[in-house]
Amino acid sequence: MVIEQKIQELLDKRAQARLGGGQKRIDSQHAKGKYTARERINMLLDEGSFEEFDMFLTHRTTDFGLDKQQYLGDGVVTGYGTIEGRVVYVYAQDFTVFGGSLSETMSKKICKVMDQAMKVGAPVIGICDSGGARIQEGSRSLAGYAEIFQRNIDASGVIPQISAIFGPCAGGAVYSPALTDFILMTEQNSYMFLTGPKVVKTVTGEDVSTEDLGGALVHNQKSGVSQFMAATEEEGLQMIRDLVSYLPQNNLEEPPYRPTEDPIDRKDDALNEIIPDNPNKPYDMQRIIHSIVDDGKFLEVHKDFARNLIVGFAHFNGMPVGIVANNPAFFAGVLDINASRKGARFVRFCDAFNIPIVTLVDVPGFLPGTVQEYGGIISHGAKMLFAYGEATVPKVTVTVRKSYGGSHLVMGCKQLRADINYAWPSAEIAVMGPSGAVEVLDGKEIAAITDPAERAELVAKKEQDYRNKFANPYDAAKFGYIDDVIEPRNTRFRIIRALQALETKRDTNPPKKHCNIPL
C-alpha cells in the first residue's frame, strides 16, 4: 500500500537523521571520549521525554560543493523535554556534521527553541560542541550567531539559560554561552577562546596550548568565565539536572519547593565552638553552611574561582535559597576584584529569579595593593554593593565574626535593604580592626613613647579598649543595625523562621528603563 511506503520513508528518514554525519564520525566522537548530540540530550532529560524539532531541516548552501553534502538536521538537535517532570528546551550541536559549525539553518533551529521557551516560560539548555561559524556561508553564518545572541539578551532575567561546553567553542561562538546564566565545562575535552593558539602565536609571539589557553581549568580557576567543571559528560549533565532543581521555570514563578525531613529546629552544638579564640585564625565556612542547610546539601557555584567567597544554592525547610559567604580559609575571606565579580553576578541572578539570599559574613576588608587598585577594585566592589542594594528578594544576613569597613557595607548590611540581620556573639562590626584603628586614633600618643616595652603595653591596652567597644555585635545592635544576637547553634532555626516571615515580602525599585551598574 502507498501509505505503508510513505510511513517506511518517514522511518528511513528518521533513522538517517539520527545518524548525523554517519556511523564513522559517530565512532570517531566516541573514540575521543565524547557522546553524540542525541546521546547527551537523552542523558540530560527524563527518559522518553524528548520531543524533537526540525529533524528534516537541511542547509541551503550550494557553494564549495556543499550542495552534495546534505545531512538531515544540519548539525544541531533541538526540541524540548522534562527534567524531574518540569519542561526545559534544549539544543545540542552535532560535531559529526561539518564539525558542528553554525549555519544559517542551524541558527534558525536554535532560535526557534529559544523563542518557544520564552513563550511558555521554560529554561533553555544549550550543549556546545562546534568548530565555529560555517565558513562556506560567509556573512549568513555570522548573522546566525547574532540572531542567537539577541535572543540570549532578550531571555536574560526572564528564563534561566544554561550552557554546557562539551567540545570546542571558539571565536564568536563563545559569546552565546557568555550571555547565559551558567556555563559548565568538562575536563580535557572542552575549551573556549576568542582566538586560538595559532593566532595568538602569530600576533603576540606566545606559545600556548589549547588547554592552557582556554581549557576547563583556566575558565574555572583563573578567568571565572565558567561556573562549573565536571570530570565527564555524565557528571556534567547530572550537575545541570541538580542546578535546574533549584531554579524556577521563569522570572514570574517561585523556585520549586523540595520536601525534607530535616527538622526546622535541628541544633548543632559544634557551631558554638567553631569560631577560634584568635581573631586572625582561619576556619572553614563550608562547615557552617553544610551544618545549617537541609540535609547538609549545598550546590556550590564557581567552586574553584575566587575561593575567598563562597556562593551556591541550598534549601532551608524545602525553600531554595542562594548563599553568599566569606571564607576565612582563603585569603582571610577578604574581598578582591574576582570575589566581587563573583558575588555580584550571583546575587543579581538570585534576585532576577525570586531566590532569597542568605549571607554569612566574616570579612576583614577589601584586598589592598596596587594590583587591586589598578585593576579597578573600586568599580568591581561597587558591583557587589549595587547588586545587594538593587535586590528585592528576601535577604537574611548573619554576621559570624569580622565585618569591617566598606566590606561590611557590601555584604548584605541593613542599609542596603537587608530584611533581617542577625549576629553571633563573636561578631565584630566596626570601621576597621583594632590594630589599624589604634594606629589612626592614638598614633601620636604611641609614637611619643620611646621605651619599646612601655609602647607595646600601651598599644595592647588601646587595642583591648577598642575591642571592648566595637569587637562585639552589641554596638551595632543598639542602633538597630542588628535585629538580634543569636546563639550559633540556633542559626538554622532562626534563618528558616526569618525566611518564612519574608515569604510574602514585596519590594520595588524606582521606575527606570534599566540601571547603569558599574561594569
Q: Are 251 and 353 in contact (CB under 8 A)?
A: yes
pLDDT band at 59 (very low <50, low <70, confident <90, very high): low
Q: Which run of H or E residues covers position 378? A: helix 377-390
pLDDT band at 182 (very low <50, low <70, confident <90, very high): very high
pLDDT of the residue at 350: 98
Q: Once rounded to an integer, what is the mean pLDDT over residues 228-253?
A: 98
| Selected residue with higher pLDDT from 445 and 216 | 216
Grid coordinates given for 146: 547574532
pLDDT of the residue at 63: 63
pLDDT of the residue at 268: 96
Rounded CA separation 416/431 (Å): 17
Number of neighbouring beta carbons within 10 Å of residue 348: 20
pLDDT of the residue at 233: 96
Rounded CA separation 90/140 (Å): 23
Q: Once rounded to an integer, what is the mean pLDDT over residues 323-341?
A: 97
Lowest mean pLDDT of 151-165, 420-434, 487-501, name the range.
420-434
Grid coordinates given for 436: 589599624
pLDDT of the residue at 135: 62
SS (H, E, C) 18-30: HCCCCHHHHHHHH
Q: Which run of H or E residues covers position 163? A: strand 161-165
Cα–Cα nearest to 141, from 107, 178, 176, 94: 107
Mean pLDDT for the chain overall = 92
Lowest mean pLDDT of 9-18, 256-265, 434-443, name the range.
434-443
Instruction: List Cα–Cα distances, 335 to 326, 385, 422, 519, in angstroms.
Output: 8, 12, 21, 17
Lowest mean pLDDT of 189-193, 228-232, 260-264, 430-434, name the range.
430-434
Q: Which run of H or E residues covers position 291? A: helix 285-292
| pLDDT of residue 66 exceeding 70 | no
Question: How much of the chain, in percent, has pLDDT values that exceed 90?
Answer: 72
The crossing angle, in degrees rounded to 10, of helices 377-390 and 337-352 is 20
pLDDT band at 2 (very low <50, low <70, confident <90, very high): confident
Q: Once rounded to an integer, what is the mean pLDDT over residues 452-476?
A: 81
pLDDT of the residue at 517: 94
Model confidence over 414-455: pLDDT tens digits? 999 999 999 999 999 988 877 777 778 777 777 778 788 877
pLDDT of the residue at 20: 74
Report the helix count and the strand count for the chain, using DSSP H and E.
19, 17
Grid coordinates given for 185: 565545562
Q: Once rounded to an integer, what is the mean pLDDT over residues 230-258?
A: 97
Q: Once rounded to an integer, what is the mean pLDDT over residues 199-222?
A: 94
Lowest mean pLDDT of 31-40, 130-139, 282-291, name the range.
130-139
pLDDT band at 171 (very low <50, low <70, confident <90, very high): confident
Q: Once rounded to an integer, what is the mean pLDDT over residues 57-78?
A: 73
| pLDDT of residue 61 exceeding 80 | no
Number of neighbouring beta carbons within 10 Å of residue 472: 18
pLDDT of the residue at 279: 87
Rounded CA separation 471/331 (Å): 21
Residues near 374 by Cβ (< 8 Å), separated by ≥ 6?
A: none
